[in-house]
Structure 1
């Protein structure tokens, strides 16, 4: 089995797969008489048909075995942790391409672009996530088993 070492989640590294969602000072706008800072337009919701929706996913730690990938061909999917704990985003260009694992801080979210292959929610500690994705009656997920699974290995 392959060992997969996660890299820090950065906008540059994650760009082939989507957008990093974090309080970027370059997007800061003072509002509400200066009592609030808005970090504006950190990601755009992409949906083909249907409507963008907000959900809460309650994640629990699971084995760090990456044996399959999924993708949502008709809309983006964003995950923002609400518990402030680190989590992992694992992606690949195709199910046979090299995997990339990103270690997200507890104050970083990630938005997978429509059609991006990724592993399901992979949190390192139980926590809730705000999820922005597409609501439609038809199924919007494709699954692929990996010929060669990998295990994410975190530094001790």
Structure 2
């Protein structure tokens, strides 16, 4: 029997075990640039390990549709990974708790427009999943020489659906 994963709206508290939600919620930390810019300071904990460095890449991901068949998740043991959409469209974020080195039951979240996310180092997560075109994202992640990708293929896929 196929297991169903229901999509929930993302919230900072529900997503906290896996990373941070990046948005301008709450008061700005500082007003800068002669009073013309609000700064929302230090919104993500970036971790690139002792021999890595931050890199900024652009990803152009293909649009996905719900229901979505989830066959695989991945994690980056050597560093965190941040997805910042370069459009106003929400996107799907899939995570799974670690259970003894393997992913547990996945969770699915839908961001709001103008929100990004940052996964903690070692968090099991689905691939970049835009639900609208273009799926253009700035991605901040670890650049280094050691292997920083681990994939896990589920024995039976999950189906991700709207709530």
**How does the TM-score come out when normalised to structure 2?**
0.89
5 Å matches for 1:22-101?
Answer: 22-48=23-49, 49-62=51-64, 64-94=68-98, 95-101=102-108
Q: Structure 1 residue aligned with 2:126, among 110, 119, 128?
A: 119
User: Distance between the aligned counterparts of 2:31 and 2:121, measured in 1?
Assistant: 31
Q: Which runs of 5+ in 1 are unaligned?
A: none
Among 141, 155, 159, the residue aligned to 1:151: 159
Q: CA deviation at 1:28?
A: 3.1
Alpha-carbon distance in structure 2 between the residues aligned to 1:117 and 1:135: 19
The number of residue pairs the alignment matches comes to 155
The alignment yields a C-alpha RMSD, in angstroms, of 1.4
List, as ranges, runs of 4+ consecutive aligned residues in structure 1 with deviation greater than 2 Å: 24-28
Are 2:5 and 2:107, in contact at CA under 8 Å, matched by a contact in 1?
yes
2:45–2:120 CA contact under 8 A, matched in 1: no
What residue ranges of structure 2 are gaps of 5+ in the alignment? none
Q: What's the TM-score, normalizing by structure 1?
A: 0.93
Contact residue 96 and residue 105 of structure 2 kept, 8 A: yes
How many angstroms does 1:96 deviate by?
4.4
Change (3 A) 1:113 1:8: same
Q: Show CA shifts across 1:33-52 (max 9, x none).
A: 10111111111211112101
